Amino acid sequence: MDYNNLLTRAFNLSWKHKVLWVLGFLATSMGYFGGFDLSDKHVFEKFHHWQYNVGGDFTDRIIDWFEFNPEISAALVLFIVAMLLLLFLIFFVLNLISIAGLIEGVYKIEREEPYRLGKLFKAGASFFWRFLGLFLLAVVVVVAVLFVIILPIVLAFIITPVLGVLALLIGIPVGIAAAFFFGNVYSLAQREIVAYQTPIIQAVGEAFHLLIKHIIPNLVIFLITTFLWIVIVIGATIIAILFAIPIMMLATQSVWILLGSLFVILPLFLLIAIVVEGFLGTFFNSLMTLFYLELRKLSPRGGIPTAAPEPGFSQS
């Protein structure tokens, strides 16, 4: 298998069909949630001891008002948590729909068929319940596997630290192998569902067959995508630091200058992040879809009735 050609095709496809970046962003946008504990009882205390006094006594009065009105504070926290959960649910639904829509889009592009963003989204929505079922199945399997891997390590550390370290050294490669196995099966099953309208369990079986029969290509594509993600994360961290440096420098001068700069630097950073994430989401999904199509050339699916839809044709 020509992996350089796969990477080139995925890059060119993603760059040429920029409208797919909308789906690409939604397909990779589930990492924005978390990181701020609204249930922390010291949250207002942290604001109270913030070294910059924005607005002087006015800000202090607001913070004191929240501290001395715990019922209203609790209601506000519950409201914010509810809104975050609702936002998470919306993005989760859009995430599954967008992945299916991207897969359908790549199929159409490969067959040189016209496509429209709205129709791709509609096609993705038609696969939502199957993708949800596949996701829930994956969650159950992953939790079970983590339990099997982590429990012996914990027990080993309880017995003796030396045995625990040994168990950890064994558990790490086992965990990586499990990530490779279940990650590839999950991705291939998604594409099997869209390609042939396959039921969930059958799609998992077909994906497992493709993985076992072509274990080396699957391992190579796993290593390639893992390496690319590591490079991207390192690059994104460097860029984030470069954006943060001027903000930190301004913060030492005046809080008002800091707040003013946030209205310029932060929106610019978010805009760049959204565009880049849209491209990367499209690229990685396209890469895996093109890889699946190459596997299907090596192992054509048998037993398909002549009336069945061609791979990538969704009945929506």
Residue type, 87: L
In whole angstroms, give the CA distance from residue 82 to residue 76.
10
DSSP string covering 6-46: HHHHHHHHHHH-GGGHHHHHHHT-GGGS-S--TT-TTHHHH
pLDDT tens, N- to C-terminus, the chain (316 residues): 788 999 999 999 999 998 888 888 888 866 444 333 434 444 444 444 444 444 445 455 555 556 666 666 677 778 888 888 998 898 899 989 999 999 999 998 988 888 888 889 898 899 999 999 999 999 999 899 888 888 888 888 888 888 888 888 888 888 889 889 999 999 999 999 998 888 999 999 999 999 999 999 999 999 999 999 899 888 888 877 877 776 676 666 666 666 666 677 777 778 888 888 889 989 999 999 999 999 988 888 753 333 334 555 444 4
Write down the domain spans for the chain.
3-298
pTM: predicted TM-score of the whole model, two decimal places: 0.75
